[in-house]
Amino acid sequence: MVSIVVGPVILAIMGAFFGLLYLGIDRKLVAHMQGRIGPPIIQPFRDVGKLLMKESIIPDGALSWLFKLAPILCLMGSAVLLLYIPIFGQKALLEDFGDAIVVLYLLIIPSLALVVAGFSSSSPYATVGAQREMVIMMSYEFPLAMTIVAIAWRIGHVAETNPFMFSTVATYPIWSLVGPMGVAGTLILLIVLLLVTTGELSRIPFDLAEAETELAGGLLVEYSGRNLVLFYIADAIKTFAMASLIIALFFPYSLSPVVGIEALVPAFVVDALFFLLKILLVMFICVMLIRAAMARFKIDQVSKIYFIAMTLISLVGLILIWVDLVM
């Protein structure tokens, strides 16, 4: 009972801390890639402190109670993700109460909260941003689900337990179950999930819902102060959670058994540091590198990329894994 009550609070704090830290690293590295100095790595923490001191303004015409409820729902939805996804090389806190399918549903909550925030703001910019967010969300859900189902389907042929459980995925890593054809299919699924993560986090080139040059901030244009900081922290936590999901599905490995560390505390420290390194590598590929190299897409391009191209590509990955199984 203590772990169930206190654990979520600790996980939320840790997710917010490391999420903000990685956002700072992201801004610094992208700045260097573009020939700029960039802000200090601790800048996201300064932004949080600054927003906490500012007034939360509710615009005239906004649906007040929904306007204030949306950031709370977004933060709670992002924080709950950490309860079901393994982090720091350890078992998820609520591992026995949910699996990857639950995570799929929970990922919708922060996006829906953003949509609600946009529509409740009574701003034309926020309304257009909310509409775009809905289109993007519907576009990437199918390839995301396809990737998770494909991995679980292959693991289900060798595992006697629920293949959607992250503990089962860690026991039977997908790379150890497939041959050359299956490896190619798994690589395709990994690429799809990395690109889906970019859209899930509304990063360039899939940040159509914000689009500062078009919509002046879009969804959150009317938010300020403590209401805005809740969205800011929720985004940091969701970033950390999505990177953790990729690691849980494709790289559920620990370093301590490899280096021969058996003592509990040293093993946890080594595995936690190894996990944070994997998070950094995932974020570098699916957030930093893409953001530095590409310009923003148009909304119809995003829909076609996710709903058509990524879905077909993930289907190819599933077929390759199936061919590898029957050969």
How far from the centroid of its chain's Cα atoms is residue 47's Cα? 21
Residue range 116-134: mean pLDDT, rounded: 84
Confidence of residue 35 (pLDDT cuts 50, 70, 90): confident
Answer yes or no: is pLDDT of 209 > 80. Answer: no
Confidence of residue 279 (pLDDT cuts 50, 70, 90): very high
Answer yes or no: is pLDDT of 121 > 80. Answer: yes
User: What's the number of CA atoms in the CB half-sphere (13 Å) around residue 200?
Assistant: 32
CB proximity list for 282: less than 8 A, separation 6 or greater: 194, 197, 243, 246, 247
Handedness of CA 237, 242, 243, 245 (dihedral sign): positive
End-to-end alpha carbon distance in the chain: 48
Q: Which of residues 325 and 300 earns the better pLDDT score?
A: 325
Answer yes or no: is pLDDT of 310 > 90. Answer: no
Separation CA 115–CA 128 (nearest Å) = 10
User: In this structure, are residues 185 and 316 in contact, taking their beta carbons and an 8 Å threshold?
Assistant: yes
Structure tokens at 172: 């039977």
With helix as H, strand as E and coil as C, how does the chain read? Answer: CHHHHHHHHHHHHHHHHHHHHHHHHHHHHHHHHCCCCCCCCCHHHHHHHHHHCCCCCCCCCCCHHHHHHHHHHHHHHHHHHHHHCCCCCCCCCCHHHCCHHHHHHHCHHHHHHHHHHHHCCCCHHHHHHHHHHHHHHHHHHHHHHHHHHHHHHHHCCCCCCCCCCHHHHHHCCHHHCCCHHHHHHHHHHHHHHHHHHHHHCCCCCCCCCCCHHHHCCHHHCCCCHHHHHHHHHHHHHHHHHHHHHHHHHHCCCCCHHHHCCCCHHHHHHHHHHHHHHHHHHHHHHHHHHHHHHCCCCCHHHHHHHHHHHHHHHHHHHHHHHHHHHHC
**In the prediction, which pLDDT does 20 show?**
93
| Distances in whole angstroms, Cα of residue 85 to Cα of each of 79, 192, 234, 243, 246 | 11, 19, 16, 10, 10
The number of distinct structural domains making up the chain is 1
User: In this structure, are residues 13 and 78 in contact, taking their beta carbons and an 8 Å threshold?
Assistant: no
Separation CA 186–CA 247 (nearest Å) = 13
- pTM of the full structure: 0.90
Residue range 95-107: mean pLDDT, rounded: 88
> Which range has the worst mean pLDDT, 42-46, 67-71, 131-135?
131-135
Structure tokens at 89: 């090389």
Domain extent, residue 52, equals 2-326
Average pLDDT, the chain: 86
User: In this structure, are residues 113 and 71 in contact, taking their beta carbons and an 8 Å threshold?
Assistant: yes
**In the prediction, which pLDDT does 2 show?**
62
